[in-house]
């Protein structure tokens, strides 16, 4: 059957627009599930592999089942789209609640992905059968697939660059659910006289849309309520940036900052960590004037560096400008870092640390690597031999490098892998550790381009924790933290991520 005229054009445009929005929201649900799972559980590659694999296999199953639909194609399409709108729109809320209150997270995750993928796989063949009546199949099918791929492209660009940073995970989920609801109402309006169950479908879609709108407007409160179950203390600030989720909590005088669920500091004891990170390399380098910090956007290491009057320049390389802005402007955090980020000696470069070392040929007297733990592929890259080799070429001949190296107690193979990898990059390395109550026993790698003796280090002292007579003990390890044999962490073989994830499982 062929259609002509204005009505034909309007119906064809509606169907192609539906394909575009279905593809856009469908890929967005995959990205949401992978991102949320990486945030809650960790192991980014596994989470996204599961999301894509389950979703695609479910689409295949849905396509196979579509052959059973032999009549009422528009009714079936609209009903399935309502189901996708409800499940997809509420998916982030469901997953957050499941993680907070049950131990069945993966069961629910896979069930959601399979259900949404099944629905989308069912819809597309039905749409092909509907749209074939609007012209030559060769042309209509080409147009349908083109708009399907464009929708997927739209999601892949809009989700990470615009929607997630501005809306966050929960609100994004409700937003995409409402896009599916818009598809429903558009088709009910255009094809109303050909949809037999128009009224009940309209009523059902209205209920789902109303629920999604409520969720959209109250998503911030929902996230706050659920996250309060994931953190021990009162949440006083949350922020979703392009790169990470920032949560700040407070209990009495204890201020804590988390990135993607991982503790970065506690105001009660962070000075132990930062004095240990800063004072040994500053003592080893003699009288350093030019300091490079990779990571450390909280400004706490900079606070310690500014206590050295001979320091003339501090370059902070932290990829997330929102993190640095928060720690510079928030009154509680800026009080903790003593306004260090506003110092005229400090310059912030919002760039990936690896790219900075590749492209910047400046020589630095001290390089501090104060990055989050290597719990995903992007961070693991910053713990590779190649990364440390770049750092070696940017370090003065009498300079010093200090790397935060996770815990020699909780993740010993991870700790020793970092030591061995720094050494493999051409450094003389001495590992040391310090007890930080909120972290436990925490380790570092102190490296130079020449041999040195830790007991001869002259540190500034005068801080709240570190003294010269304590220094020797920091470089001693008990039998339970003795050196272990490990592989070298490389770009083409990020073994460190496997060590880290497998070792932390023992403590979950």
Give catalytic residues, as residue numbers: 370
Q: Which residues pair with 433 in a beta bridge?
A: 443
Please say whether the dihedral angle defined by the alpha carbons of residues 143, 144, 145 and 147, taken in this order, is positive or negative.
positive
Question: CB within 8 A of 230, min separation 6: which ones?
Answer: 99, 100, 261
Question: CB within 8 A of 469, min separation 6: which ones?
Answer: none
Both tokens of 113, joined, read: 């992905």
DSSP 475: T
Question: CB within 8 A of 483, min separation 6: which ones?
Answer: 416, 419, 477
**CA-based nearest residue to 285, from 396, 429, 451:** 396
C-alpha separations of 401 from 47, 282, 397, 450, 462 in Å: 34, 9, 11, 12, 22
- In this structure, the number of other CB atoms found within 10 A of the CB of residue 363 comes to 12
**CA-based nearest residue to 82, from 16, 22, 155:** 22
Both tokens of 428, joined, read: 């003389």
User: What are the contacts of 377-380 at 24+ separation with CB within 8 A?
Assistant: 377/44, 377/45, 377/494, 377/497, 378/44, 380/489, 380/494, 380/496, 380/497, 380/500
Question: CB within 8 A of 496, min separation 6: which ones?
Answer: 374, 380, 383, 384, 414, 417, 418, 421, 489
CA distance 405 to 426: 17
């Amino acid at each position: 059957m062929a259609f002509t005229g204005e009505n034909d054009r309007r119906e064809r445009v509606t169907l192609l627009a539906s394909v575009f929005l279905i593809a856009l929201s469908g890929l967005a649900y995959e990205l949401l599930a992978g991102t949320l799972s990486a945030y809650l559980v960790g192991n980014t590659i596994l989470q996204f592999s599961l999301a894509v694999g389950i979703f695609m296999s479910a689409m295949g199953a849905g396509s196979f089942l579509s052959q059973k639909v032999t009549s009422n194609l528009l009714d079936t399409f609209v009903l399935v789209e309502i189901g996708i709108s409800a499940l997809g729109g509420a998916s982030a809320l469901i997953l957050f609640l499941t993680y907070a209150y049950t131990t069945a997270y993966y069961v629910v995750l896979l069930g959601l992905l399979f259900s949404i993928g099944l629905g989308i796989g069912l819809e597309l063949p039905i749409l092909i059968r509907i749209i074939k009546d609007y012209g030559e199949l060769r042309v209509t099918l080409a147009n349908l697939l083109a708009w399907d791929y464009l929708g997927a492209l739209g999601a892949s660009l809009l989700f990470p660059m615009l929607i997630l940073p501005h809306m966050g995970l929960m609100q994004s989920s409700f937003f995409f659910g409402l896009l599916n609801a818009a598809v429903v109402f558009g088709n009910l309006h255009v094809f109303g006289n050909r949809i037999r169950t128009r009224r009940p479908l309209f009523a059902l879609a209205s209920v789902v849309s109303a629920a999604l709108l409520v969720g959209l407007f109250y998503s911030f409160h929902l996230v706050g309520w659920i996250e309060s179950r994931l953190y021990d203390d009162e949440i006083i600030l949350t922020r979703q940036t392009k790169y990470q989720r920032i949560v700040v909590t407070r209990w009495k005088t204890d201020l804590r900052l988390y990135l993607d669920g991982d503790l970065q500091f506690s105001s009660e004891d962070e000075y132990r960590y930062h004095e240990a990170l800063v004072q040994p390399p500053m003592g080893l380098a003699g009288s350093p004037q030019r300091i490079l910090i990779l990571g450390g956007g909280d400004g706490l290491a900079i606070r310690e560096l500014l206590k050295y009057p001979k320091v003339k320049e501090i370059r902070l390389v932290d990829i997330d400008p929102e993190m640095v802005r928060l720690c510079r402007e928030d009154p509680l955090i800026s009080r903790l870092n003593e306004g260090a980020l506003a110092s005229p000696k400090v310059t912030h470069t919002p760039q990936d640390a690896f790219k900075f070392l590749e492209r910047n040929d400046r020589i630095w007297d001290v390089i501090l690597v104060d990055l989050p733990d290597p719990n995903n592929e992007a961070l693991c890259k910053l713990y590779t031999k190649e990364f440390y080799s770049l750092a070696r070429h940017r370090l003065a001949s009498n300079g010093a490098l200090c790397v935060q190296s996770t815990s020699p107690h909780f993740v010993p193979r991870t700790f020793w892998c970092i030591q061995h990898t720094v050494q493999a990059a051409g450094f003389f390395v001495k590992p040391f550790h310090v007890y930080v109550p909120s972290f436990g026993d925490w380790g570092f790698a102190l490296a130079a381009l020449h041999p040195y003796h830790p007991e001869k280090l002259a540190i500034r002292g005068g801080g709240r924790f570190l003294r010269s007579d304590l220094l020797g003990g920091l470089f001693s390890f008990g039998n339970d933290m003795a050196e272990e044999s490990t592989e070298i962490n490389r770009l083409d073989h990020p073994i460190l991520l496997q060590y880290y994830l497998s070792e932390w499982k023992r403590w979950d």
